[in-house]
Amino acid sequence: MNYKVRGQHIEVTDALLDYVEKKLGRLERYFEAPPTSDVNVTLSVIRDQHSVEVTIPLPGLLLRAEDRSKDMYASIDSVTDKLERQIRKHKTKVNRKFRQTGTEAHLFSDAATPVPVDEEDQLEVVRTKRFTLKPMDVEEAILQMNMIGHSFFVFSNSETKEVNVVYRRNDGRYGLIEQG
C-alpha cells in the first residue's frame, strides 16, 4: 500500500510516519495482493484532540475510519482496529455471498479467517420511515434539521430538483450531499 500521510496543525515526524505505516501495514494480510491504491491518512490536532482519519479506496469498496483522543498513537491504534473490523465484516459478507452463488472472491485473502458477525453487527433494517420530500433550499433544510434535532436531513432541493442530504459535521458546521 502507498501511504499519503499529511498533518493539519501538526508536524508529521518520522516516528509518527513509521508508526502509521507499521500499524496500517498489518491490514495487508487480509488481501490476496496488497492494494495498489493510495491510503490517505490525515493527522490533526485541534484543541487537545488528536484526530486520525484514514481512507482506503478499493475496487467496489471504500474503507474509512476516524478517531479522536488525547493521544495521537492511541488514535492511530483505534483507527487501525476500526478498519480491521470493517475488513472482517466485509470479508464475511463477501464470503457468504460467494458461497451462495458458487463463485470465488479474489479481493480478500483466505489466510485471514473470517470472524463471525456478532448479533449487534448484523446488517438488519429495524425501522423504515416514509415521508414526502418537500422542495426547499439548503438553508431551510438546515433549519428543519435543527428543529427536529437530527444530525442529518433528506430533502428535495428546490434549485436543482434533486434529492439532497444536509448533515452536521463533527466540527459543528454543515455538509451537503448531492447526487452524482
**What's the pLDDT tens digit per position in 101-138?**
655 555 555 555 555 545 445 678 888 888 888 899 99
Among 2-6, 52-56, 133-137, 146-150, where is mean pLDDT lowest?
Answer: 146-150
Edge-to-edge strands, sheet with 152-157:
135-136, 152-157, 163-168, 174-177
**What's the pLDDT tens digit per position in 29-77?**
887 777 788 899 999 998 889 999 999 888 777 889 999 999 999 999 9
Show the DSSP H helices in 11-126 as ranges. 14-25, 72-101
Distance CA 148, CA 145 (A): 5
Distance CA 34, CA 25 (A): 9
In the predicted model, what is the mean pLDDT of the chain?
A: 84
Whole-model pTM: value is: 0.60
- Label residue 140 by pLDDT band (50, 70, 90): very high
